[in-house]
Structure 1
């Protein structure tokens, strides 16, 4: 085998393996999204993918913002992955009826039964679940006060698996909401954090304030 051809083949194999192993943290992902939007606005995505100038700009600007080197293949793989996720999300929000979006939790609002059915049909949808919704229905209690209105201990106790899940779900939710309330009250900087600081700085502030308690 020609030595140059063998070296080129090995280099290509190494590049592909590297692309498969690439891990995108949330901060880098958000920066990538911002940079993609910028390239689209200036016309460097004439079709379904970016042109040569667009890919070069993405790699250079991402390195400037994050200090990380990415090959065109790695960037393209992440772009294609985002497109697949969008198609799944678009299907859920446009074709399926009765769904909503929770802007606080940044998740799709749907019942546990609905998620179980959809994920069984397409396991890829698991990534959009994110939040275990409580069971709903006129005969299923959820809020903690509803479990305190019975005359006896037996009447107050959760009945069945669904109410048991709802009871602990609601209890945990109350604890989390109180914890966030105390945290936000202690650190005034959090009030307008989304206005005054970049995304990367917001992440640092959140981590630092939580670490300090």
Structure 2
């Protein structure tokens, strides 16, 4: 079996999406624009928004990823973000400096 491929229900290989960091950034930027335009009125993107995301992503990246691939990536990014927020909680003693884009310690040592 070829690396980065899985088998569909019809036993035909399906190419797995390759998400380089700059492609993830493009996807996130597209999602942010859709959210700002009201495409996510509550907790989910609307059907029309997903259609727009698929079209815009294809146009901006040259990759013809279908809804399922984009939805899977969205779901994974959401999980990663929630984990990131948990790790930045007070339990770890870490914080985020949004100006420097770095972690910093919330623990102040007093001597």
TM-score w.r.t. the length of structure 2 is 0.72
Aligned-CA RMSD value: 2.3
The structure having more radius of gyration, on CA atoms, is 1
Number of residue pairs aligned between Structure 1 and Structure 2: 96
Find the counterpart in structure 1 of residue 71 from structure 2.
76
91 and 56 in structure 1: CA distance in 2 versus 1, 3 angstrom threshold: same
Shift of 1:26: 1.1
Q: Hey, which of these two has a bigger chunk of helix by percent? A: 1
Q: Hey, which of these two has a bigger chunk of strand by percent? A: 2
Is contact 2:57-2:63 (8 Å) kept?
yes
Q: Does 1:67 align with 2:67?
A: no
Q: Does 1:42 align with 2:37?
A: yes
TM-score w.r.t. the length of structure 1 is 0.40
Question: Within 5 A, what are the aligned runs for 1:10-159?
Answer: 10=10, 17-18=14-15, 21-101=16-96, 104=100, 106-109=101-104
Structure 1: runs of 5+ lacking an equivalent: 1-8, 111-213
Structure 2: runs of 5+ lacking an equivalent: 1-8, 106-111
Instruction: Spell out structure 1 runs of 4+ moving beyond 6 A.
Output: none
Give the structure, 1 or 2, with the largest relative contact order (CA under 8 Å, sep 6 or more).
2
